[in-house]
Amino acid sequence: MLPTLVLASSSPWRREILDKLGLPYRTKHPEIDETPLPDESAAALVSRLAEEKARAVAPAYKDALVIGSDQVAVLDEQIIGKPGTHERATEQLRALSGRSITFLTGLCLLNTATGKTHVEVVPFHVHFRKLSDGLIEDYLQHEQPYNCAGSFRSEGAGIVLFERLEGEDPNTLVGLPLIRLVRMLEAEGVSPFQFQRS
């Protein structure tokens, strides 16, 4: 019998990505404190939070594979948060003009039956065009990405801001690295197609 697949997230974007595999799965919102620890690096933060999210959900499922994921955007080794306001988004995009930002996504797959975890941090790089104030204003008025780290939605009109994208899996940029997730499932002896046949 196959384990239950659980996504420890309430993110509609992560659900949309996982839907691409056509797998049956459940979702459960993880209740955790996402505050960074003192002197914690961005990579250590997303690795820890991805695992904490999976562990927070795990007790509700006896025989499950629980997926946890967390992501931050980094510029000059500083984490860039969600802007929240139009003014802050304008500042963020001006700072990103002609530069590159790195998204680090922590991914965890936890087997609740064995306690085994697989944890990885997957980078993805976004290289920005030179952005005029006019383009920034037009984009922000169009998409209003104030709840998105870096002040853009790559899956939407944010693509007009980019020079190029660099990474192994474009799903990573939106918050769930599917290529790595499939490898983790296989390491647990499960092919994604087994879920579809069950």
pLDDT digits (tens, 9 = 90+) for 100-143: 999 999 999 999 999 999 999 999 999 999 999 999 999 999 99
**From the candidates 70, 133, 138, 169, which is the catalytic residue?**
70
Cα-trace Rg, the chain: 18
At 78, list the tokens.
């500083």
What domain count does the chain have? Answer: 1
Determine the pLDDT at residue 112: 97
Q: In the chain, what is the straight-line distance between the N-terminal and C-terminal CA atoms, in Å?
A: 8
Is pTM beyond 0.85 here?
yes
Give the separation between CA 47 and CA 154, rounded to whole angstroms. Answer: 22
> In the prediction, which pLDDT does 184 show?
97
Could you list the residue range(s) of the whole structural domain that residue 109 is in? 4-197
Q: From 146, 107, 134, select the one nearest 18 (Cα to Cα).
A: 107
Is it the case that residue 198 has pLDDT exceeding 80?
no
In Å, how far are 3, 126, 193 from 135, measured between CA atoms? 48, 17, 44
Question: At 84, which CATH number?
Answer: 3.90.950.10
* Residue entry with tokens 């009109």: 157
Asked if the model's pLDDT at residue 164 lies above 90, the reply is: yes
Q: Is 133 a catalytic residue?
A: no
